[in-house]
Chain A
Amino acid sequence: MISINIEKKLKTYGGQQWLSINHDFATGSTTKISGPSGAGKTTFLKIIAGLTSPEKGIIRIDDTFWVDTSAKINLSPQKRMAGFVFQNYALFPNMTVREHLEYATKDEVWIDRLLKVGKLETLTTHKPEHLSGGQQQRLAILRALAVKPSLLLMDEPFSALDSEMKIALIAELKLLFAELGLTVLIVTHNAQELDGLCNGELRIDTNEKP
């Protein structure tokens, strides 16, 4: 079980807003996160990953506190090791497809399996600049999965994929998520694209006061 109860001040064009989330995510669940632009969906994922900190609150994974502001607990991203798929992919321009996965894990069997899932087996020596948008997005997903995280955070992970590839990849990912017992949080603007993958939903809206 992942328990989250956090508050974070957001600076928006409309002035100061508050992101307040109080939600529990069952272990192994896949949750769709939706909400208007600027509501703080990406910030929410970054808070969970440890890439930014909340003003106050707690994040508890089973019995382990990742964040507890009252006890001044705030684990580093390296200790949390939550898989993160960035909206801009954040691929490393100096690394090939295979090097991306080898940077994350030494498990060659797992790497080969991921390459097969992402249909990138024939592109292992290509660098990101020589991949299409969809291929880059798939690589970003595979890299996040390479460390076999217990929690996977995905920020608009299917936006660059054509519908055929999206359906095939989602089917494969569904099996992988179940196999790894992964808890997954997926930010999306297109709620329909995740039909059949998610079994929960969280809508995020900002408030003027905490």
Chain B
Amino acid sequence: MPLVLPPSVLGFYLLLAFSPQHGIGKWLHDSFDLQFVFSFQGLILASVIYSMPFMLGPIKSALQQLPSSLAQASYTLGKSERETFLKVLLPNIKPSLFTAMVLTFAHTLGEFGVVLMIGGNIPNVTRVASIAVYDSVESMDYSTANTYSLILFSITFVLVIGVFIFNRTQAKSPLE
């Protein structure tokens, strides 16, 4: 669902779910003194929920491309599914894993709707760069907006170029 839902809708439901007034949010607040609404940890949780599918898709696809005989060979050596996954399957999708992590990070960096909904826009607490850009434009402060935008653009550009170069040099299928 996070793949197809508008981020603001997902953020709205997370805001309701983690509200300290009722449900899971109340239980977390009363039992563990945890508050995910309008807090930095809430931003992290919401970003993980929102971005996880973007990471899991490529990883699942990479695992499916590995020949089934790799896992089968490991099983005949007496290895469990867990050990096979950790020592045989996961190391052989390292390039896909790296690419998925970097691109998901870049994607999360520019997230707006979800983080605004659950985190609000509290300076030094939940104000992230993408929201700061919006804020600056709202207040006609184009110079600050430009600075933030340039920083975001640079980081994303470097990450994408880095992944591109990595894929060209390292990400050759281990089975080729």
Which residues of A are in contact with B by a Cβ distance under 8 Å? Answer: 46, 49-51, 76-78, 80-84, 86, 88, 90-94, 103-104, 129, 143-144, 146-147
> Is the pair A147, B78 in contact by a Cβ cutoff of 8 Å?
yes
Shortest CB-to-CB span from B85 to chain A, Å, is 13
Q: Pick out which of these stretches binds chain A: B18-26, B56-64, B67-75, B101-109.
A: B67-75
Q: Which 10 A-B pairs have the closest CB atoms?
A: A93-B174, A90-B69, A94-B91, A90-B73, A77-B75, A84-B76, A104-B77, A81-B78, A86-B69, A51-B72
B77: which A residues are within 8 A, CB to CB? 81, 103-104, 143, 146-147
Shortest CB-to-CB span from A136 to chain B, Å, is 12
The complex places the Cα of A81 from the Cα of B67 at a distance, in Å, of 20
Interface of B is mostly: helix
> Is the pair A76, B76 in contact by a Cβ cutoff of 8 Å?
no
Chain B: interface size category: 20 to 34
> Is the pair A84, B79 in contact by a Cβ cutoff of 8 Å?
no
> Is the pair A94, B75 in contact by a Cβ cutoff of 8 Å?
no
The complex places the Cα of A90 from the Cα of B76 at a distance, in Å, of 12
Shortest CB-to-CB span from A140 to chain B, Å, is 8
The complex places the Cα of A98 from the Cα of B73 at a distance, in Å, of 16
The complex places the Cα of A157 from the Cα of B92 at a distance, in Å, of 24
> Is the pair A90, B174 in contact by a Cβ cutoff of 8 Å?
no
> Is the pair A93, B78 in contact by a Cβ cutoff of 8 Å?
no
The complex places the Cα of A113 from the Cα of B88 at a distance, in Å, of 24
Closest Cβ neighbor of A77 among chain B residues: B75
> Is the pair A78, B78 in contact by a Cβ cutoff of 8 Å?
yes
